[in-house]
A and B are shown apart, each in its own frame.
Chain A
Amino acid sequence: MTDAELLAAYRDGDEDAFAVIVTRHKAPLFSFILGMVQDEGAAADIFQETFLRVIKNISRYEERGMFRAWLFSTARNLAMDHFRREGRGTISLDAPVDEEESGATMADSIAAPAAHGPEPSLEAKEDREMVLRAIAKLPAEMREVLLMREYSGMSFKEIAAALDIPIGTALARMSRAVARLRKDLCTPQNTKRS
């Protein structure tokens, strides 16, 4: 069933339909949020609040085949609210975490078993951790486009609509993100030893 069909079923009283929606979107959505806020505790809160808002507004949602956009833009706005409360726009993996929270970040997920495929080599893990650290250092507005494209599966046209920006702006932010990543990953301390 499509998201639209599941939402319609849920509105008609089928609780299981909503569980299917959650199962379908939970990993990419949580990963997007975690990539934005870089804190598992905050990401869990934002994930829950995102779906609570969906539940609360389900009767007012008009299906235009854009549920994913609605879901991810809601999460993105909550992440931005989180940044404003925290008073920061960029997150570093080296930033101190709340001692009461697990503080797991996206780079920590590299230590956990991969969702797909065989266990990567140690060198591959280090390379990926290096890339994730570089992504975490990107300004939020650059990082959100990259993360949203990778995790939501939306096109850049859809992302631009969800973020309420011109597609040229979305592509420009992505382009600057790539340039920064390349510069960061190609610095002497990050280049592989031959």
Chain B
Amino acid sequence: MHTAKHEEELILYSYGELEGDELKAFEAHLASCPDCSGKLATLRAAGTALKDAQVNPPRWIVENVEREAAGKFRFTFKYVFRTLTPVAAAVAMAALLILPQGEPQQAAQTAHWNDVSDTALTELHTQLETARYDIEYGTDYVTEFEIKAAGVEGRIPAQNKESKS
């Protein structure tokens, strides 16, 4: 006799989610129930049709998502500039301003900006905003230095101090 329980078991059976004694009992029922047999055939036809209809999203949508995922890191500035940018130049210039006169620099030295002049900071801020705008709106610029919240901390190439102009 076909019952509501068989309806649920049919669904579970068709997707391999019926096990043990329940599986055996249902298979015995299925052998003599045309209603269940018919519905099973319908379910399998639906599964085949849906499987064949599986499609990929448009490529541009995937690229948008990947770009957004990459853009999540733009404010931590963990990217690498592919070309020399105004920001890198500003960072280098600001680093020169705080370095002792004539002191040779070590490669990849960390620069601390606590003593940087207001003018230099303002210019740095402007350059950073420009870079952020470029990153946000799709250019390939990325940066290599980490920006802390209050001061500015970054790794820059070794530079010997030059005379201020």
Contacts and interface: CB of A to CB of B under 8 A. Distances in A.
Interface of A: 10, 13, 15, 18-19, 22, 26-28, 30-31, 34-35, 40, 43-44, 47-48, 51-52, 55, 58, 106-107, 109-110, 112, 114-117, 120, 127-128, 131-132, 135, 146-147, 149-151, 155-156, 168, 171-172, 174-175, 178-179, 181-182, 185
A22 B11 contact: no
A51 B64 CA distance: 10
B107 to A, nearest CB: 24
A115 B52 contact: yes
A182 to B, nearest CB: 4
Given A172-B8, A174-B11, A175-B11, A30 B68 contact: no
A112 B55 contact: yes
Contacts of B72: 55, 58
A26 B66 CA distance: 12
A23 to B, nearest CB: 8
A55 B38 CA distance: 44
Contact of B55 (A19, A30, A179): A30
Main secondary structure of the interface of B (DSSP, over half): helix
Given A15-B73, A128-B48, A128-B49, A44 B58 contact: yes
B8 A182 contact: no
Interface in B64-85: 64-66, 68-70, 72-73, 76, 78
21 contacts: A13-B78, A15-B70, A19-B66, A22-B69, A43-B57, A44-B61, A55-B65, A107-B53, A110-B53, A115-B54, A120-B52, A127-B49, A132-B50, A132-B53, A135-B50, A147-B50, A156-B15, A156-B17, A172-B8, A178-B46, A185-B45
Contacts of A174: 11
